Amino acid sequence: MIVELRFDAQRPRTWMLRAIRQIAAEHAQVCVRWISDGARSPAGLETLLDLERLLLRGGRRCDADALDPATIRSRDDTPTPDVVIDFTTAPHRAGDRPQLYLRPLYNGRAGENAVLDAILAGDLPMIEIRDEMSGAIVDGGHPSAEEADGLGGGLVTVMSRSITLLGAVVARGPRPMPALLARTEARTPVSPAAYLMCSLVQAIALRIYRLCCYSPHWRIGWRHVDDDGVWARGDLSGPSWQVVRSPATHFYADPFPVTWQGRTFVFFEDLDHRVGKGTISAIEFGTHGPIGEAIPVLEEPWHLSYPFLMTFDGALWMIPESSANRDVTLYKCIEFPHRWEPQATLLSGLELADATIVRRGGYYYLFGATRDGAGGYSDTLSIYYADHPLRPWQAHGSNPVLLDRVAARPAGNFIERHGRLLRPAQDCSNGYGCALTLIEVEELTPSSFRQSVRHVIGPGAEWPGRKLHTLNRSGRLEVIDGTTIQPRIKGLLQSRRSHTMPTSAADQAVGVRSLPSRKLSTAVGSDRHDLR
């Protein structure tokens, strides 16, 4: 297959090299044609991008930086392409007759200026892939903004996800747009200079906040319920949520409860702010709540979080999130709850976060948020399947099955309720992990997937804070998580007390109160959970 990429000759950028590599990786021969489409950049754009690199990224380069066009050779003598991918605003030529002629649109418009206008108006655009030969929209999605710092970061995020979608269409053909997606409401863009100034002010405010407080600081909530809890109500109402105590310098997140060998434990990510790397810990629960203190159960040289638990073959298994190591590893519980040993690498060589498995129709399906090297961490859902967890896993026929910041990244276990298969996901439309999306999976086979959003739940009076991104259940025990303000002085005072008080008294002093949280906005939603 021959794929011709058409780029704007006036604005060569580093992301174009990524486009060439990723499209070529789909077993395609790639050629490039530079096109002058006449579209003018906003005044002073390149200077502002240079200032962003110095002031926001400490001199680090990014894929929005200008590229020497000689780096990419344009050829006019290539054979007729099977597929044309056109990133410009130029109309297609009368002689073009490829099998597919794909053009990405941003809130309905083509070209880099459409991307910039959306970012300058305060949000990332929805991406649509249009086949210029038929006029049909053949794929699309809405990117998340965890990595969209400044104008350059936003541009890189959008172009990276455009490449993700285009690569999927080239490899697997057109597919219908997900019904959930809708274009962002049009707003008036600010000037690039005003945007940069606002980004700098927000970045300074965030740095000052992080000098005073641990950020983000996650905590786990729990309660006992006698019905289906959040799934039945579609909100957080009902019995009051209690907070799992944690040391002032640690945050607890991603709770997964399990009852095994007659005991109930909640496993979770335990991150020491002073170290910045997550490990897996567990705390036992009884009739009236937590029993004793948390105990460490699993640590690796790389960051771990989201300890998904499952049972099969008479044993208890865990898949902690380990995208920093670019694999999905299955651990077996050797001695409950504290001894775990790796048994198999289910997937390798990819960034896949928050692996969550469900058994359906004779197959095990593994859902996870994937990332192909750039852009956000929470907008792309991929599925893999196998007839047994320890046998080879195959990619779903439509991977990635979804690109949507509202309903892609897993947020806990699947459940079955009234014959329906349900899953929680993270709503990252206003930043990483800001809300929960409750979803019904309507179709799931090795080649098809369809889901619909039923509820979106954010923190509020029942659970104060800025974020909410995990929901799980074991028996009557229901657990969630969320963020709160945690001043660094608390950690300092606790550390001093632990050196001057008897151990038992120091242990009694460990804990956090349920604190209301205030909102601190960040540039284009750049707040992140931890190392991800």
Report residue 513's pLDDT band, with 50, 70 and 90 as the boundaries: very low
DSSP state for residue 77 in the 8-state scheme: S
* CA gap 430, 148 in Å, rounded: 12
Tell me what the mean pLDDT of segment 135-157 comes to.
Answer: 93
At residue 495, the pLDDT reads 67
Residue 162 predicted with pLDDT over 60:
yes
At 271, the amino acid letter reads L
At residue 186, the pLDDT reads 60
At residue 74, the pLDDT reads 76
Q: Model confidence over 380-418: pLDDT tens digits?
A: 999 999 999 999 999 999 999 999 999 999 999 999 999
Supply angle C-alpha 38, 43, 49, rounded to 5: 105
At residue 326, the pLDDT reads 95
Supply angle C-alpha 317, 305, 228, rounded to 5: 70
Tell me what the mean pLDDT of segment 247-254 comes to.
Answer: 96
At residue 22, the pLDDT reads 92
Residue 261 predicted with pLDDT over 50:
yes
At residue 531, the pLDDT reads 36
Q: Token digits for 318?
A: 């865990």
At residue 504, the pLDDT reads 38
Tell me what the mean pLDDT of segment 326-354 comes to.
Answer: 97
Q: Model confidence over 70-112: pLDDT tens digits?
A: 888 876 666 789 999 999 999 987 778 898 999 999 999 999 9
Strands 29-35 and 2-8, how do they pair? Answer: parallel
Q: Model confidence over 450-503: pLDDT tens digits?
A: 999 999 999 999 999 889 999 999 999 999 999 999 999 987 777 666 655 444
Residue 193 predicted with pLDDT over 90:
no
* CA gap 2, 80 in Å, rounded: 8
Tokens 């205030």 sit at which residue?
A: 518
At residue 506, the pLDDT reads 33
DSSP state for residue 460 in the 8-state scheme: B
At residue 190, the pLDDT reads 83
What percent of the chain shows pLDDT beyond 70? 90
Segment 114-118 long-range contacts (CB within 8 Å, at least 24 positions apart): 115/154, 115/155, 115/158, 115/159, 116/42, 116/45, 116/151, 116/155, 116/189, 116/192, 117/189, 118/158, 118/184, 118/189
Mean pLDDT, rounded, of the chain: 89
Report residue 525's pLDDT band, with 50, 70 and 90 as the boundaries: very low
Of 97-111, 176-190, 207-221, 470-484, give the lowest mean pLDDT range.
Answer: 176-190
Q: What pTM, to 2 d.p., does this model score?
A: 0.90
Residue 339, CB-side half-sphere exposure with 13 Å CA sphere: 3
Virtual CA dihedral for 310, 316, 322, 325, nearest 10 degrees? Answer: -130
Tell me what the mean pLDDT of segment 149-161 comes to.
Answer: 95
At residue 305, the pLDDT reads 98
Give 506 or 347, the one with higher predicted confidence. Answer: 347
At residue 498, the pLDDT reads 61
* CA gap 24, 83 in Å, rounded: 12
At residue 435, the pLDDT reads 97
Total Cβ atoms within 10 A of residue 456: 17
At residue 339, the pLDDT reads 98
At residue 319, the pLDDT reads 98
